[in-house]
Amino acid sequence: MADILRNPMISEESFKVEIIKTGVQNYDNGPDFRNAVLKINHIQQMGDVEFHINLNDWFRHGHDDDERYNNVILHCLWQVPDNIPQRLKRRCCHLVLSKQLRISYSKWYHLMQESEKNRELLNSSFNESPQLSEDVLKALATRRFLRKVDRFYSWLNFFSFDDLLMIAIAESLGYSKNKFPFRQLLWQIPPSTIYSHISIGNRSPTNIFIYYAIRANFLSSKKLKFHNMSGSYWDYHSSVLIKDYLARGYLPIIQLKDWYFSRIRPANNPIIRLASLSQILFEYQYPSFLEKVLSISMNRLPLNQYSATLLSFLRLELNQNLLLFLKNVFNLKHIPLYTIGKTRVTQIIINSILPILYLWAVRNQNEGFSQYIQWVYENLPSSEDNIILRRIKRSIKDPRMLKMLNDSAYIQQGLIEYFSIKQARQPDFSSIVSPKRKR
Q: pLDDT exceeding 90 applies to what percent of the chain?
A: 41
* Residue 185, CB-side half-sphere exposure with 13 Å CA sphere: 35
pLDDT score recorded for residue 393: 64
Q: Is 195 found in the same domain as 311?
A: yes
- Read off the pLDDT of residues 17-47 as tens digits, 9 standing for 90 and up: 988 888 877 867 789 998 888 999 888 898 9
Does 405 score more than 80 pLDDT?
no
CA distance 293 to 363: 17
Among 99, 125, 142, the domain boundary falls at 99
> Using an 8 Å Cβ cutoff, are 360 and 352 in contact?
no
Q: Is residue 357 part of a domain?
A: no
Among candidates 13, 17, 23, 24, which has minimal Cα distance to 39?
17
Band the pLDDT of 124: cuts 50, 70, 90: low
Band the pLDDT of 288: cuts 50, 70, 90: very high
Q: Is 37 found in the same domain as 16?
A: yes
Q: Is residue 237 part of a domain?
A: yes
Q: Is 76 found in the same domain as 213?
A: no
Q: Is 295 found in the same domain as 201?
A: yes
> Using CB atoms within 10 A of its CB, is residue 234 exposed (0-12), middle (13-18) or buried (19+)?
buried
The domain containing residue 134 runs over which residues?
A: 105-156+376-432
- Read off the pLDDT of residues 247-278 as tens digits, 9 standing for 90 and up: 787 888 998 889 998 888 888 999 999 999 99
> Using an 8 Å Cβ cutoff, are 238 and 305 in contact?
no
Does 437 score more than 80 pLDDT?
no
Three-class DSSP category at 184:
helix
- Read off the pLDDT of residues 55-77 as tens digits, 9 standing for 90 and up: 999 998 889 888 889 999 999 99
Q: Let me know how long the chain is.
A: 439
pLDDT score recorded for residue 67: 86
The answer to which of 168-172, 336-340, 380-384, 433-437 has the lowest mean pLDDT is 433-437
Does 99 score more than 60 pLDDT?
yes
The answer to which of 73-77, 109-113, 145-149 has the lowest mean pLDDT is 109-113
Q: Is 21 found in the same domain as 137?
A: no
The residues, ordered by sequence, that sit 6+ positions from 29 with a Cβ below 8 Å of its Cβ are: 68, 437, 438, 439
The residues, ordered by sequence, that sit 6+ positions from 298 with a Cβ below 8 Å of its Cβ are: 369
**How many distinct structural domains can be found in the chain?**
3
What's at 434, amino acid-wise? S
Q: Is 147 found in the same domain as 215?
A: no
- CB neighbours (10 Å) of residue 95? 23
Three-class DSSP category at 255:
coil
Give the H or E element holding residue 47.
Answer: strand 43-51
Q: Is 148 found in the same domain as 185?
A: no
Among 66, 83, 99, the domain boundary falls at 99
Q: Is residue 419 part of a domain?
A: yes
Q: Is residue 1 part of a domain?
A: no
Instruction: Check residue 111 and give left, alpha or beta (phi > 0: left; psi -120 to 50: alpha).
Output: alpha
pLDDT score recorded for residue 433: 41
Q: Where are the alpha helices (DSSP H) in 65-104?
A: 86-91
Band the pLDDT of 391: cuts 50, 70, 90: low
> Using an 8 Å Cβ cutoff, are 143 and 433 in contact?
yes
Give the H or E element holding residue 386.
Answer: helix 386-393
Please give the model's pTM, rounded to 2 decimal places: 0.69
> Using an 8 Å Cβ cutoff, are 275 and 319 in contact?
no
Among candidates 256, 272, 251, 259, which has minimal Cα distance to 181?
259
Residue 375 to residues 345, 369, 378, Cα–Cα distance (Å): 18, 10, 5
> Using an 8 Å Cβ cutoff, are 412 and 396 in contact?
no
Q: Is residue 364 part of a domain?
A: no
Q: Is 118 found in the same domain as 255?
A: no
CA distance 26 to 199: 49
Q: pLDDT exceeding 70 applies to what percent of the chain?
A: 83
Q: Is residue 80 part of a domain?
A: yes
Q: Which residue has the higher pLDDT, 239 or 54?
A: 54
Band the pLDDT of 396: cuts 50, 70, 90: low
Does 354 score more than 50 pLDDT?
yes
Q: Is residue 362 part of a domain?
A: no
Q: Is 311 found in the same domain as 223?
A: yes
Q: Is 197 found in the same domain as 282?
A: yes
Q: Is 325 found in the same domain as 247?
A: yes
Q: Is residue 365 part of a domain?
A: no
Q: Is 290 found in the same domain as 255?
A: yes
> Using an 8 Å Cβ cutoff, are 217 and 252 in contact?
yes
> Using an 8 Å Cβ cutoff, are 177 and 268 in contact?
yes
